[in-house]
Structures are given as structure tokens and as C-alpha cells.
Amino acid sequence: MTKTIYSKEMKDVLASLFSKYGFNEKKAKLLAEVHTENTLHGVNSHGINRVLNFIEQLKLGLVVKDVEPEKVESFGCIERWDGKLGSGVINAIKCTNRVMEIAKENGMGLVALRNTNHWMRAGYYGWMMAKKDCIGILFTNTEPNMPAWGGKEAKLGNNPLVISIPRKKGPIVLDMAMSQFSYGKMSTYKLKKQFLPFDGGWDTNGNLTKNPEEILTTKNGLPIGYWKGSALSMVLDILATLLSAGRSTYKLGLESHEYGVSQIYLCINPNTYDDLALQEKLVEEIITYTRDITPTEPNGKTYYPGEQSLINKIKNQKEGMKVSEEIWTKIIDLINP
């Protein structure tokens, strides 16, 4: 059963919840804003549906409340920050803002953040940058959940990658994990008793399968493009780990819960060139060209990265967000037990 919740109500309720769990007013509002925005974009799995997990992690002490991320080292346009195991969202907002400052001054910048936690929807920080006319390249490592190509055991994270590009009519935001399907998506197929449209991982016999139930059992998701996504995932983990001197997917897998991940925030400020109108024109040409197609499905079309996310937001702002009634009730109960 779902319930319709509007943006203002969700923000108010979540801010109360986070206040109750010890965040000061500013931080509680920020957390509420990010979870709400992610849900507005249609990504409930990394918005409203993650709130109870986050509270659980706070209770377990995996996420620490009263800390501020700190710059530990810097050279030129590169900085290394320590997240001190604080909220992944609050750390990510701080580092996103910081890297944009560096880029506005130097054309580009990089912040490597260690000892942070799940940032919920990676795309949020890409949208943040794009709205400030910045190009963003961001990624995080995760606990192991995919085999390296050629091996049977999960040794790689799905390491979500974001690339965002400012655009007046709506930013271009690629937000993708290195696994073909997210575990959330596979659970949805399983509940509907449907197979995945393409192979999504390995079954218990070590064969590739479209059966979501099998993959949810083995926890062996398929990297995008087989050996290619396997290699890309590994390289992202190495970059995040060595630039932050933080924990790798290997280290994350030694613990029973995922915490203390490593992330990269890279920002390029294209406004340093004085031909913004030309840049806008070049981007529109590309989008127009990729729209001009014979669709593979009746009434189908192509989308630019981030387009569907924006469509969801506009719809959900107008009509309210569809939220699991069970989850919403649990959240309300936590505020007023």
C-alpha cells in the first residue's frame, strides 16, 4: 500500500525525526532535504526508503553524529578530507561545496574523502554541481557485491559513478552503479515474480541468469559489459582508496556492515571559458541528434541521462510522492512512539 506525501510534509516530518535523533536544526533540515529530494526524483530506494536504515546505523554507532569532516592534506587543487565516520550525506554536501569553491578559483578541483558513510543517491551531488554551472565527476566505493571477471566470489563493489553537466533546460546527470541491475531493482522484479530483461548476475551453479531470486541469494551481480564493468569498478575503487588513503572495497568487506567508505569529488568549471552560448548550442545539437530516431519499442524514445529523473521530480512535485505506507507509519511512530 502506498500513501501520497507532498514535499513540504516529508521535509517537516524527516527534520523532526533527525532532530529527535540528535542532529542540530541545520543538519536535520539538510538530511530531510536530501532524502526528500531523492524521493521527488523517483528514487525512493535512496530517499524515503533509506531513512529507517540510516536511523539503524546511527543506533549501531556506524554513523557518528557529532563530528565535522576535516581537511587533512592539500596540494594545489587537490584536497584530502576525513569524514570521521559522520553522516555520508552531510559529508558529501560539505565536500561538494568545497570542490566547487576550488574549481571556481582554479578551473577544476578534486576532493578525496575517506571514512565517510553512504551518501544515499549519488546523483544528488551531481545535480548540486550542475545547478551551480559546474561539471561534476563523483564516485564512491562500496562493499564487495560483484565478482571480478574470471572469478566466482564477489570481490568488487558496484561503485556508483556520477557525471553531471550543467544545462539551462535541465542538467545532464549520469548516475549509474557498475552492476547491471541494483539489488533494489532485482527485489522489485522478484516481488512481481518476473525475470530480469537481461542477465543480471550468477545463479548458485555459477551460470549467468535473469532470475532475480537466484542473484539475490548468491549476491553475485553482473558488472555492466562483463569484463569491462569489472575493470572499471576496480579502477574506481583504486582511485578512491589511494587518493583518500581510505578504505578499499577489500577492507569494507572485512566488516559485517558497510561503513567508512572512500569517495572522489571532482569538479570542472566550464564557465571559465567565455563561450557559454556556443557550449549550450553544442550540447543541444547532441541531444537533438540522439532524439531523432526510429524507436525500438512502439511509442518509445531515447532519453538523455537525467531526463527521466527530472520528469519524475516535476510530476511528484505536482501530484505528491507515492510512499510505502508501512515505511511512512514506522517513521511517524519513531517520532511519536
Q: Give residues 132-151 in contact with a copy of itself (rule: CB under 8 A).
A: 135, 147-151
Instruction: Report the C-alpha dihedral over residues 33, 35, 41, 43, rounded to 10 degrees.
Output: 180
Task: For the CB of residue 64, give the shortest distance to a copy of itself in the complex, in Å.
Answer: 23
Select from 58-66, 152-160, 185-193, 325-333 the region that touches a copy of itself (CB under 8 A). Answer: 152-160
Determine whether 35 is an active site residue.
no
Are 190 and 213 in contact by the 8 Å Cβ rule? The answer is yes
Q: Are 89 and 119 in contact (CB under 8 A)?
A: yes
Stretch of residues binding a copy of itself (CB under 8 A), selected from 57-65, 82-90, 91-99, 291-299: 291-299
Q: Are 24 and 57 in contact (CB under 8 A)?
A: no
Q: Which residues of 222-255 are buried (b: 16+ CB within 10 A; e: fewer)?
A: bbbeeeebbbbbbebbebbbebbebbbbeebbee
Single residue of 241, 263, 309, 316 touching a copy of itself by CB under 8 A: 241
68/43 Cα distance (integer angstroms) = 27
Q: Which stretch binds a copy of itself (CB under 8 A): 22-30, 32-40, 62-70, 71-79?
A: 71-79
Rule CB under 8 A: say whether 174 interacts with a copy of itself. Answer: yes
Look up residue 51 and give its three cell numbers: 531513512
Cell of 245: 588513503
Backbone angles phi, psi at 175, to 5 degrees: -140, 100
Which whole-number Å values give the CA distances from 21 to 15, 24, 39, 54, in the listed order? 10, 9, 21, 11
* Least spacing, CB of residue 262 vs a copy of itself, in Å: 10
The answer to whether residue 106 forms part of the interface with a copy of itself (CB under 8 A) is: yes
Q: What is the DSSP letter of 148?
A: P
- Near a copy of itself by CB under 8 A: residue from 52, 58, 67, 77: 77
Closest approach of Cβ 189 to a copy of itself, in Å? 15
**DSSP secondary structure letter of residue 312:** H
Q: How far is the CB of 329 from a copy of itself (least distance, A)?
A: 35
Binding a copy of itself (rule: CB under 8 A), the pick from 70, 105, 255, 326 is: 105
User: Of these residues, 35, 46, 118, 257, which one is catalytic?
Assistant: 46
C-alpha radius of gyration, the chain, whole number: 20
Q: Is 204 in the site for a copy of itself (CB under 8 A)?
A: no
Would you say how long the chain is, in residues?
337
The CA distances from residue 128 to 50, 84, 87, in Å, are 20, 23, 18
- Segment near a copy of itself (CB under 8 A); pick from 12-20, 41-49, 244-252, 312-320: 244-252
Q: Which is nearer to a copy of itself, 90 or 310 (CB)?
A: 310
Taking the complex as a whole, the smallest distance from the CB of residue 53 to a copy of itself amounts, in Å, to 25
What 3-state class would DSSP assign to 266?
strand
Binding segment (CB under 8 A) for a copy of itself, from list 19-27, 31-39, 295-303, 319-327? 295-303
Lookup: cell for 336: 511519536
Exactly one of 92, 156, 323, 331 binds a copy of itself (CB under 8 A); which one? 156
Backbone angles phi, psi at 169, to 5 degrees: -80, 5
Binding to a copy of itself by residue 75, rule CB under 8 A? Answer: yes
Of residues 249 through 278, those in contact with a copy of itself by CB under 8 A are 249-251, 268, 270, 272-273, 275, 278
* Interface of this chain with a copy of itself, residues 9 to 48, rule: CB under 8 A: none
Which positions are catalytic?
46
